[in-house]
Amino acid sequence: MANRHLFAWQRSLSIALVLALLGFVAGFGWRVDHSTNQKTVLPVSTRMQQDKAGLETLKAKAVAVQQDAAHQKAIAKLAQEEKVKRLNASIPVQFQGKTIREVKLKGKDNPKTQVKPTKAIAPAKLIALTFDDGPWPQMTSKVLDILKKQNVKATFFVVGKQVEKHPQLVKQTVAEGHAIGNHSWSHQYHHYSASAAAHELDKTAALIHKLTGVKTSLFRPPAGILNNGLVASAHQKKYAVVMWSVDSKDWRSGRTTKQALVDNSLKEAKSGGIVLLHDGGGDRTKTIEALPQLITQLKKHGYTFVTVPELLEKGVSF
């Protein structure tokens, strides 16, 4: 009997435990489902609000980016306009319609006229690098890269037909702050009639202005020839005909060396001088190889590099 009562009690206890366990599981399951439903239903409106807020933030950022881009574009435009304005500055009257090989500097820029110059206030030694016959694929861009790296501004005398073929290079030249000069349209050496000579200059000048906004007042005759009609036309048009006082002799191309180019230039360099180099007309690898060393050596000798228009601004005569 006692065993039956014990068995019955154990059975009842087991049933109670089972029922309690089932009740707990059911309750937990309901809470999980209820909690899950809340998590999947309640955040919908919240997410919509968050998405709306995020969208507004993105719109605000997009507007800010656009405004900043417009601001930067406006600044770049003003800088370019100022650069072109500076490059368009008229040359001093004493150089208009004249042929120039070097420039005699004004007193404060002329080492010879300085009164007891000191290291603290050393007289300026100015020199202008010039490049002929471009723009030329690869050659011109490499020269521009070197000048940019060395923080040097130069003057490029461009050939019209080359400008027509490679307009982007002449645009880049002006965009990087270099001066532009006219080197005729066809770079021929024969004699020109008055009308043909005028056409050579005018056609080149018009294309330069169309592409860059620069109205150049500088002319250099091909091969430095002074008596074939081109210079006479340039004088009549009040161009400053810019020759050179320092001949690197890089036009010898394969008949010269990198060191010879540097030595030739250093030997003839002086304040107010104009250096003849080439970025076009053929393979100018020797010029490109020599240019960094030439610039470094001239800097060591105390020279400051200027464009031809800047040199003329500081000059009293030629």
pLDDT tens, 157-194? 999 999 999 999 999 999 999 999 999 999 999 999 99
> Mind listing the pLDDT tens digit for each residue in 250-283?
999 888 999 999 999 999 999 999 999 999 999 9
Identify whether residues 71 and 135 lie together within a single domain.
Answer: no
Q: Give CA–CA dist 161/207, Å, rounded.
A: 10
- Residues whose CB is less than 8 angstroms from the CB of residue 196 and which lie 6 or more positions away in sequence, other chains included: 229
Contact 224, 257 (CB under 8 A): no
Three-state DSSP state, 221: coil
Q: Which of 166, 178, 183, 278 is catalytic?
A: 278
Identify whether residues 108 and 19 lie together within a single domain.
Answer: no
Place of tokens 């435009």: 77
Identify whether residues 167 and 251 lie together within a single domain.
Answer: yes
Residue 263 designated active-site: no
Identify whether residues 170 and 135 lie together within a single domain.
Answer: yes
pLDDT surpasses 50 at 316: yes
* pLDDT value at residue 31: 45
In this structure, what DSSP letter does residue 236 have? H
- Residues whose CB is less than 8 angstroms from the CB of residue 170 and which lie 6 or more positions away in sequence, other chains included: 135, 156, 158, 163, 180, 208, 211, 212
Identify whether residues 219 and 129 lie together within a single domain.
Answer: yes
Question: Could you tell me which residue, 2 or 89, shows the higher pLDDT?
Answer: 89
Identify whether residues 185 and 274 lie together within a single domain.
Answer: yes
* pLDDT value at residue 126: 98
Number of domains in the chain: 2
Q: Give CA–CA dist 124/299, Å, rounded.
A: 12
Identify whether residues 82 and 101 lie together within a single domain.
Answer: no
Identify whether residues 242 and 282 lie together within a single domain.
Answer: yes
Give percent above pLDDT 70 in the chain: 75
The confidence band for 70, taking pLDDT boundaries of 50, 70 and 90, is confident
* pLDDT value at residue 114: 52
Bridge partners, 155 (sequence order): 130, 179
Q: Which of 109, 132, 133, 279 is catalytic?
A: 132
pLDDT surpasses 80 at 222: yes
What integer is the mean pLDDT of 203-212? 98
Residue 71 designated active-site: no
**CATH number of the domain to which 310 belongs:** 3.20.20.370
Query: The domain containing residue 304 runs over which residues?
Result: 93-317
Identify whether residues 120 and 188 lie together within a single domain.
Answer: yes
Q: Give CA–CA dist 122/116, Å, rounded.
A: 9
- Residues whose CB is less than 8 angstroms from the CB of residue 280 and which lie 6 or more positions away in sequence, other chains included: 131, 132, 133, 134, 135, 136, 139, 140, 159, 162
Identify whether residues 165 and 278 lie together within a single domain.
Answer: yes
CA dihedral 105, 118, 122, 303 (to 10 degrees): 100
